[in-house]
Structure 1
């Protein structure tokens, strides 16, 4: 088999090179982003037919006690393969049954009675994200391969028993064969998924449109694919968009009002990487509190003693508001400051910015968790960051738990679906959104309806280089990496 590698600046250019070199019937082995562009591994359709017509690699006759040491399985849900015995015994007698014949229909999500002005949705059905996103839809309901019963062969005599060296060589050959079979299974799954999505584009254009809209809005391919696959049938474009917004809204957790924060009081620490706007957001929250409750019962603390003049910015805001700012360096200082401010209704802590890959993250989480006074940790997420970066930040700062998050730099983001996607997946509660530098004007309570509408309707140039073409969607869906970090999508 002659496998060729194609490299382009983007997937569109690489696919064009594949089509030019191998024709329209080329078989794609892999399509992945690499440093500097996109890499595609492919071979011709004739090579695939040649593989299918090859004779079995293993000889027909083998001692049964050698073969029974190895199992194989085409099921990704088992720790060990089922049995290679059935494969060897069947040989060329087995006939291939197309996977499409074994696919069961996805559970339907039915709409209740509709009125001209409202769209009622049945909320009693639930779909598991962790299972569905981890298993390609083409194989999700496939039956397991059952091993056949084979009569035990006569035991070979002592002189026929293979040597230890021969057993070792056979073990290596079988391990290599199992590895090749698993790789081939992954390739076939990817190809069948791409073919399935190509058919969906023709038969159900609304699903294709929804998928394109979600990807353009910044939502991950895994979540976009899940929502598109479970979109109720017979919906026009308008109702499909309404359903998507409804499901996203059901799963985006926000606070209803400021009772949970400024009105209820307590100690709140704003944490996050460098440059996400923690100090400015702390000043905005302090100003909102002063406007509502006055300066008497507000305390401000900063742990930013690492940067030159790091605490001066908050001191300036505190001076304007008439609130004293306490600077702390370590656990002892923090305990002293909290003790001095124990009679304050609300205490806001501005922390030093630390990269999610810095070991100081652990030290900072330990510092905030070392006091007897419970401190609620609010993670600041930069809306301009990619979904992968935001996921990395959340996992690094989770530590002993997060109480919520704040989206910052909303005004600078070209898309915000990436931030909403990660918040939904990680099941974080969204408190506020910050969309500018003005204090205290540019901070608002998180409104899920407005955020989802904004995400789905952000205007973008028609020639955006990061926007996917319609013909590229099957390849994207065929190579989507499943995500198992979400247990259930409510309302879907």
Structure 2
């Protein structure tokens, strides 16, 4: 076992060196501020495991002085000497005879490792809090931007990565402009009315109540206006709810379109073959929880069609951040062509939804903000959406972060990471 010493300009950089060298489970022994920067002493998790005696009861009966001396000598490095604490008194002979050795050993190891990991997490949080405090002092304008992003609904992970890309020395107005520009660059959107212009077969999927049917009616209306009713078709797979397809049929009658009910994969294949001359075919699917196993069955039915059925994920802007993350995770593994955000008029803000779209690198096609057909649907315009987020008038609420809460949240989210959530500073920058 070897205790290693790491020195860096900041606590965050020192922790990064520890993780790169010893791994995420490394044990932090101490940290202190030196003239060279922040110094951290650490050892590998495997080294700590080697310190645990696999037969503690046996050795409590017959202490091994040679082993203790050996362990003490291994805890010596160029800077510090670590000495073992006095051992505990011998356990009563009757107690040791009653308890099987392997049971005591397993419980001892579990208890020890649990305490070590708890101490490690606490120390990492404290180091991260110090690091964010130092950052606040060095770059107060960056911290203001970070606070604005968090209060707008963006996640700590995305906010931190974005702020890390901002140059030092800019004032608040310049930094905010650069932050919004970076968000705009990373928010991928389809070109204006791309679905309507290109046409094709689109299935709108998503949870119950997010507005799939109304959104289909809005898209159908726009397509009818541009290409005529004879070039548009509506299908529904919603045969589970009582009267589930009636709302779509009402919209169909108003637009001069018939609505066909699809029963299974064979029915879908035959129907799409008969509609191959249509410019646009829109499929309304059954709304269900993203945790329902029928999600996979429904997607499988769409995938068995000979025609390329593009799946559009419909999400409500009023959903929570964790709910959106779970929904995207559940559907993206089946292949998502793009997404539509609904219910902007019902959401307290748009930051949470756009954060999910940016981090998961989805293509946003449309947003909707009401029940009117076809008025309340709009092509996604990144600049307008971000302007709406950061120029909305809102006072302090129970959810507005204060200074102390801000540092704590950033510290606790310091180790979060997502492999596909890389953020770019803007065109031509990495």
Of residues 116, 119, 125, the one that matches 1:181 is 116
| Aligned equivalent of 1:220 | 155
Considering only aligned residues, what root-mean-square deviation do their CA atoms show, in Å?
Answer: 3.2
Instruction: Structure 1 unaligned segments of length 5 or more: list them.
Output: 1-73, 88-94, 105-137, 149-159
| Aligned equivalent of 1:201 | 136
Q: Are the counterparts in 1 of residues 204 and 283 from structure 2 also a CA contact under 8 Å?
A: yes
Distance in 2 of aligned mates of 1:293 and 1:166: 80
Aligned CA distance change for structure 1 residues 201 and 437 (closer, same or farther; 3 Å): same
Distance in 2 of aligned mates of 1:312 and 1:181: 60
1:38-437 maps to which residues of 2 (within 5 A)? Answer: 75=19, 96-98=30-32, 169=104, 173-174=108-109, 176-259=111-194, 261-437=195-371
Give a deviation string over 1:148-197, Cα, whole Å, max 9, x none.
9xxxxxxxxxxx899xx768755754554343222212111101111222
More helix by share: 2
| Aligned equivalent of 1:470 | 403
Distance in 2 of aligned mates of 1:397 and 1:146: 37
Distance in 2 of aligned mates of 1:438 and 1:275: 16
Q: Are the counterparts in 2 of residues 75 and 144 from structure 1 also a CA contact under 8 Å?
A: no
Give a deviation string over 1:1-37, Cα, whole Å, max 9, x none.
xxxxxxxxxxxxxxxxxxxxxxxxxxxxxxxxxxxxx
Secondary structure at 2:345 match in 1: helix
Aligned CA distance change for structure 1 residues 347 and 168 (closer, same or farther; 3 Å): same
Distance in 1 of aligned mates of 2:24 and 2:145: 39
Distance in 1 of aligned mates of 2:266 and 2:45: 64
Q: CA deviation at 1:332?
A: 2.6
Distance in 1 of aligned mates of 2:33 and 2:24: 22
Q: CA deviation at 1:374?
A: 1.0
TM-score normalised per structure 2: 0.76
Aligned CA distance change for structure 1 residues 339 and 209 (closer, same or farther; 3 Å): same
Distance in 1 of aligned mates of 2:228 and 2:321: 39
Q: CA deviation at 1:277?
A: 0.6
Distance in 2 of aligned mates of 1:147 and 1:384: 46
Q: Are the counterparts in 1 of residues 23 and 44 from structure 2 also a CA contact under 8 Å?
A: no
Distance in 1 of aligned mates of 2:24 and 2:173: 47
Q: Are the counterparts in 1 of residues 359 and 422 from structure 2 also a CA contact under 8 Å?
A: no
Give a deviation string over 1:270-327, Cα, whole Å, max 9, x none.
1110111101110110111111111121111011112221111111111111111111
Q: CA deviation at 1:237?
A: 0.7
Of residues 438, 441, 452, the one that matches 2:372 is 438
Give a deviation string over 1:46-70, Cα, whole Å, max 9, x none.
xxxxxxxxxxxxxxxxxxxxxxxxx
Q: Are the counterparts in 2 of residues 379 and 405 from structure 1 also a CA contact under 8 Å?
A: yes
| Aligned equivalent of 1:62 | none
Aligned CA distance change for structure 1 residues 189 and 316 (closer, same or farther; 3 Å): same
Distance in 1 of aligned mates of 2:170 and 2:404: 22
340-349 or 203-212: which moved more? 203-212
Distance in 2 of aligned mates of 1:103 and 1:312: 69
Q: CA deviation at 1:258?
A: 2.7
| Aligned equivalent of 1:60 | none
TM-score normalised per structure 1: 0.67
Secondary structure at 2:230 match in 1: coil
Distance in 1 of aligned mates of 2:346 and 2:174: 30
Q: Are the counterparts in 2 of residues 362 and 399 from structure 1 also a CA contact under 8 Å?
A: no
Q: CA deviation at 1:253?
A: 0.5
1:446-461 maps to which residues of 2 (within 5 A)? Answer: 446-461=380-395
| Aligned equivalent of 1:127 | none
Distance in 2 of aligned mates of 1:77 and 1:355: 43
Secondary structure at 1:407 match in 2: strand
Q: How many residues align?
A: 362
Q: Are the counterparts in 2 of residues 303 and 327 from structure 1 also a CA contact under 8 Å?
A: yes
Distance in 1 of aligned mates of 2:423 and 2:276: 41
| Aligned equivalent of 1:10 | none
360-369 or 170-179: which moved more? 170-179
Distance in 2 of aligned mates of 1:333 and 1:360: 18
Aligned CA distance change for structure 1 residues 386 and 485 (closer, same or farther; 3 Å): farther
Give a deviation string over 1:367-403, Cα, whole Å, max 9, x none.
1111111100000010011111011111112242100
Q: Are the counterparts in 2 of residues 102 and 143 from structure 1 also a CA contact under 8 Å?
A: no
Distance in 2 of aligned mates of 1:99 and 1:178: 28
